[in-house]
Amino acid sequence: MPVRPRPISPHLQIYRWTITMTMSIVHRATGIANYAGSSLLVLWLAAAAWGEEPLNVVNAIYGSWLGQLVLFGYTWSLLHHMLGGLRHYVWDLIYGHEAGQREALSWANLVASVVLTLVVWTIFVWVGR
């Protein structure tokens, strides 16, 4: 009896890419990034505990253009992951499962995380100086 090939499970060749797929991946990536970013917070707190000179070194690094870029990305990661968690909470409450609602919540997650990051940095970093 001839062996027929097993059916292939639908994958990216079958499905069209959607914003909800993208946000699912980004949610996982921001969760991982938050671990790395939290280590920056721990480093800053440890430097503050060690004294003024170590704190000045860490502040100089974090105050550089590269440090500011990393901290900006960390802020976005925190806010995006938090909003993604709220989006999942809404879904857990059995709301927003219709096709248009899923996409709208995903786009709102992305846009709100960018806007909130800009608001936080405008108020606490750029204007606060």
Domain assignment present for residue 98? The answer is: yes
**Chain segment 54-93, per-residue pLDDT in tens:** 999 999 999 999 999 999 999 999 999 999 999 999 999 9
Whether 8 is covered by a domain: the verdict is: no
What is the extent of the structural domain holding 88?
A: 28-126
103 domain-assigned? yes
Residue 118 lies in a domain: yes
pLDDT over 70 percentage in the chain: 91
Mean pLDDT of 35-40: 96
> Kindly report the CA angle at 81 between 75 and 87, in degrees rounded to 5?
135
* Angstrom distance (rounded) from CA 29 to CA 90: 21
Is residue 19 domain-resident? no
List of residues 6+ apart from 39 with CB closer than 8 A: none
List the Cα angle 94/97/98 in 5-degree steps: 140
Most confident of the ranges 95-104, 109-118, 119-128:
109-118
Under 8 Å between Cβ of 105 and 90: yes
Global pTM value: 0.87
Q: Residue 112 sits in a domain of what CATH number?
A: 1.20.1300.10
pLDDT bin (cut points 50, 70, 90) of residue 9 is low
Examine residue 3 and state whether it is found in any structural domain, yes or no: no
